């Protein structure tokens, strides 16, 4: 399931900096049919890691995460027992801002 994902918009915060976003997985059904979409599902048991630094956090019940990071460029990776693999994403963190990123994972459904 190849897909192109770009980091989302950067959101202003009152203090601090880092990344926030969601970890999602798809496909969620073997065949998508007109009128019966198969949207990605949140990955609620993922560990998200930022490199360099190795700082980690976990997704919540909605697949959301937030990670405080110093300004710089990071590679974000996610791992979970409920999906096959996740695509790494790159994020640029600016001072006093959070960059929104979506990490896509493969469920293995074909």
First to last CA, the chain: 9
**19, 93 in Cβ contact below 8 A?**
yes
pLDDT band, residue 37 (cuts 50/70/90): confident
Whether the per-residue pLDDT at 12 is higher than 50: the answer is no
Whether the per-residue pLDDT at 1 is higher than 80: the answer is no
Bridge partners of 37, per DSSP, are none
| Domain architecture of the chain: domains with CATH | 10-27+38-106 (2.60.40.1120)
Whether the per-residue pLDDT at 26 is higher than 50: the answer is yes
CB atoms within 10 A of CB 107: 18
- Percentage with pLDDT > 90 across the chain: 71
Q: Quick check: helix, strand or coil at residue 48?
A: strand
Global pTM?
0.82
Residue range 79-104: average pLDDT?
A: 96
């Amino acid at each position: 399931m190849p897909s192109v994902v770009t980091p989302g918009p950067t959101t202003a915060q009152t203090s601090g900096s880092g990344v926030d976003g969601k970890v999602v997985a798809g496909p969620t059904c073997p065949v998508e049919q007109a009128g019966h979409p198969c949207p990605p599902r949140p990955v609620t048991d993922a560990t998200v890691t930022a490199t360099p630094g190795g700082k980690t956090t976990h997704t919540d019940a909605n697949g959301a995460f937030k990670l405080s990071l110093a300004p710089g460029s990071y590679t974000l990776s996610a791992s979970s027992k409920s999906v096959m693999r996740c695509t790494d994403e790159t994020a640029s963190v600016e001072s006093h801002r959070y960059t929104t990123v979506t990490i896509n994972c493969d469920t293995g459904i074909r």
